[in-house]
Amino acid sequence: MNWDDSMPMVSIKDVHKAFGDLEVLKGVSMDIKKGEVVCIIGPSGSGKSTLIRCINALNDIQQGSILVEGQEVNDPHLNKLELRKKVGMVFQQYNLFPHKTALENVMMAPIRVLKQSKAEVEKTARALIKKVRLDGKEDSYPGELSGGQQQRVAIARSLAMNPDVMLFDEVTAALDPETVGEVLLTIKDLAEEGMTCILVTHEMNFAREVADHIYFTDRGVIVEHGSPTTFFDEAKDPRTKEFLSQIL
Amino acid sequence: MSQSTYNGFNSRKNQQQYKTDLPVMITPEAKVPGSLTSSLSAYIFKPWHGFMLIFFCIVSSSIAFGVDENAKSSIPEVLWRWMPLLLKGFMFNIVISICAMAIGTAIGAVLGLGQISLNKWVRRFSWIITQFFRNSPWLVLLFFAMFLLPFEIKIGGLSIPLPDWVKAIIGLSLPVMANVSEIVRGAVVSLPSGQWEAAESLAYTRRQTLWLVILPQCVKRMLPPWMNLYAILTMATVLASIVGVSEVMTLTGQALAAEGGRTDLLAPFYSFVLLIFFVYCYPIARWTVRLEKKFSVIG
Ligand SMILES: Nc1ncnc2c1ncn2[C@@H]1O[C@H](COP(=O)(O)OP(=O)(O)OP(=O)(O)O)[C@@H](O)[C@H]1O
Ligand SMILES: [Mg+2]
């Protein structure tokens, strides 16, 4: 591929997506550069989840183009597996595999999908679990962990695939207020290490703190976007202003 | 998925997690004297009730008929004489049930996976087969197997005989197959879609997702209904007597005939058959309930 670091890591152009008659995305465009942290905010049902699920082809799109490292996602001959090795995703509901321990959850994909050696994977998996501050919980099953702990295992599980981009879909929305902080801290660490992150979030303070760029979506279009300071302090569109006044 | 679904999921999960130690979460066990629930719980069927009932049948009928017919040998004596044969017949029922279960499970599992195949035709074919055999009376399927299957199969020069009991196994394995197929399909679709999505986003192939993530979680969901099915199958093996397989019911009939058709023997003999089925199936039912409880707590 003739793609290099200076070009956008993820380039979304005029994406349209409908579920049956329901048009959810009506021409969305955004570019995310390598190492950038982008937050997508917006009211419920505005298509945020749908958009980021299109990036790793969990949803297909009807029109437009999504390039991930120069590779077209909206292509019937797309090798989804290769795409998903590059794009990690963390869900609102953690979705850990309940029949496997935390360590096994992290180790499974690199062994089975990337065919790496078990000993090597175990070493990186233990390091990752330490990195998300869960040392000592390696052998716990998801059912024995708190929501915040499970979510951090889920982040470690995604990182074990060594992705180039991470997608986070409201990863703190299902958590108790006390545990939200620990998960956000983990994501902040990642962002500071230069991981390219696309986050859907309702945590405005967090977005202001870590994001390089903020997109506000409403009813399937991007209403406004900009750096955190311009976005939060100088919002122009009335819809943005109304949303911010409700949430802040 | 909407916000409210997530919340619903969440609260359910928490409930399960704390179910064991929170008194409010424990289902009302009815300790209030005189209340409706407490009077109902007094009637809950316990194992010894079953034994009592059946023993009562045997003993009372023995006494009722046995007293005035001193010319013939007493009922317990007759029953004792035939018991080894009846038990042997019952072993045959167990063999039929185990074989039919094994065959039905193997083919049913394949059919069940066929029902969730990505290929439309495989999916339709598996669905039709499953629905057809699931909604047919077992006895009719048994008759079909009996009268449509040849008495021997020729493969090359080799001829394999198909005795009646083998045909009975095949006939009974058909409904088992269809039910197992539904159990497999039901367990797979009952898993939250998040499990599929998580595996997909980690670049698992569909096959890997199925075998490494989905099916291992399904096994424990499938176990209780599968055991239930086995208990039902075991009781259905007596249908084979209608098509002449010498299992316990057939032998009981023959024993009664050999005793000269004494009507006073009918109740004790059939009570005995009931008892052995009860002794065999009841533990399976109890175990199923225990597994169900255990899995519902773990989630
Ligand atoms: N698989 C689907 N089938 C049909 N409709 C869907 C599907 N997924 C999402 N939708 C609809 O698309 C719209 C946008 O959903 P989406 O989940 O992207 O919103 P969201 O911005 O993430 O909202 P939230 O903040 O509540 O998560 C909603 O109206 C939703 O009902
Ligand atoms: Mg969403």
Interface ipTM above 0.85: yes
C-alpha of residue B117 to centroid of ligand 2, in Å:
28
Q: How far apart are CA A178 and CA B295, in angstroms?
A: 30
Residues A209, A194: Cα–Cα separation, whole Å: 15
Residue from B94, B239, B100, B251 nearest B166 by CA: B100
Does the pLDDT of residue B36 top 80, yes or no? Answer: no
Mean residue pLDDT of chain B comes to 82
Could you tell me if the CB of B5 is within 6 A of ligand 1?
Answer: no
**Beta strands in chain B, from DSSP E residues, in sequence order:** 152-155, 158-161
Q: Which residues of B touch A82 (CB under 8 A)?
A: 203
Where does residue A15 rank: exposed (0-12), middle (13-18), buried (19+ CB within 10 A)? Answer: buried
Q: State residue B226's pLDDT score.
A: 95
As a whole number of angstroms, the distance between CA B184 and CA B213 comes to 14
Query: Using CA atoms, how far apart are residues A233 and A245, in angstroms rounded to an integer?
Result: 11
Q: Is the dihedral of CA B31, B34, B35, B39 positive or negative?
A: positive
Banded model confidence at residue B170, pLDDT cuts 50, 70, 90: very high
d(CA B254, CA B270): 12
Averaged pLDDT for residues B136-158: 89
What letters, b where the CB count within 10 A reaches 16 and e where it falls short, cover B188-198? beebeebbbbb
| A81 vs B3, B194, B203: nearest CB | B203
pLDDT at B38 over 50: no
CB-CB neighbors (< 8 A) of B205 in chain A? 81
The Cα A79–Cα B157 span in angstroms is 50
% residues pLDDT > 70 (chain B): 78
Question: Is B8 near chain A, with CB under 8 Å?
Answer: no
Phi, psi of A237, deg, nearest 5: -70, 135
B90-100 tens-digit pLDDT: 999 999 999 99
For residues B110-127, average pLDDT? 96
CA distance to A21, A207, B133, per residue, from A226 (Å): 31, 12, 62
What is d(CA B235, CA B231) in angstroms, rounded to the nearest whole number? 6
Residue labelled with tokens 């898993």: B191
Q: Decide whether any atom of ligand 1 lies within 6 Å of the B4 Cβ.
A: no
Tell whether pTM > 0.90.
no
Residue A12 CA to residue B102 CA, distance in Å, equals: 53
Q: Which of A93, A149, A161 to mutate to test the interface with B (most CBs of B within 10 A)?
A: A93
Tokens found for residue A245: 């006044």
Stretch 183-212 of chain B: residues touching chain A, C-beta under 8 Å: 192, 194-195, 197-205, 208, 212
pLDDT band at residue B45 under the 50/70/90 scheme = low
DSSP state of A166: E
Q: Is A46 in the pocket of ligand 1 (CB under 6 A)?
A: yes
- Kindly state if the Cβ of A150 falls inside 6 Å of ligand 1: no
Number of H helices, E strands in chain B: 12, 2
Nearest to B182 by CA among B124, B225, B212, B235: B225
Cα–Cα distance, B256 to A184 (Å, whole number): 79
* Closest alpha carbon to A19 in A50, A41, A64, A48: A50
The whole-number average pLDDT for the span B252-274 is 91
Which residue stretches of chain A have pLDDT < 50? none
Q: In the prediction, which pLDDT does A35 show?
A: 93
User: Which ligand has its closest atom nearest to the C-alpha of A216?
Assistant: 1
Rounded to 10°, the helix B215-236/B75-115 angle is 140
A contacts of B204 (beta carbons < 8 Å) = 109, 112-113
Chain B, residues 19-78, CB within 8 A of chain A, namely none
C-alpha distance from residue B248 to each of B82, B93, B113, B126, B137 (Å): 11, 7, 36, 35, 21
Is the distance from CB of A32 to CB of A221 less than 8 angstroms?
no
Res B292: pLDDT? 85
Residue A228 to residue A204: CA distance in whole angstroms: 10
Q: Is the CB of A152 under 6 A from ligand 1?
A: no
CA of A117 to the centre of ligand 1 (A): 39
Between the CA of A48 and the centroid of ligand 1 the distance, in Å, is 8
B174-188 residue pLDDT tens: 999 999 999 999 999
Q: Which residues of chain A have a CB within 8 Å of the CB of B295?
A: none
Please give the helix or strand (H or E) that residue A38 lies within, else none: strand A37-41
The residue that leads in pLDDT, B55 or B231, is B231
Position B1 pLDDT exceeds 70: no
Q: Calculate the CA A82 to chain-centre distance.
A: 17
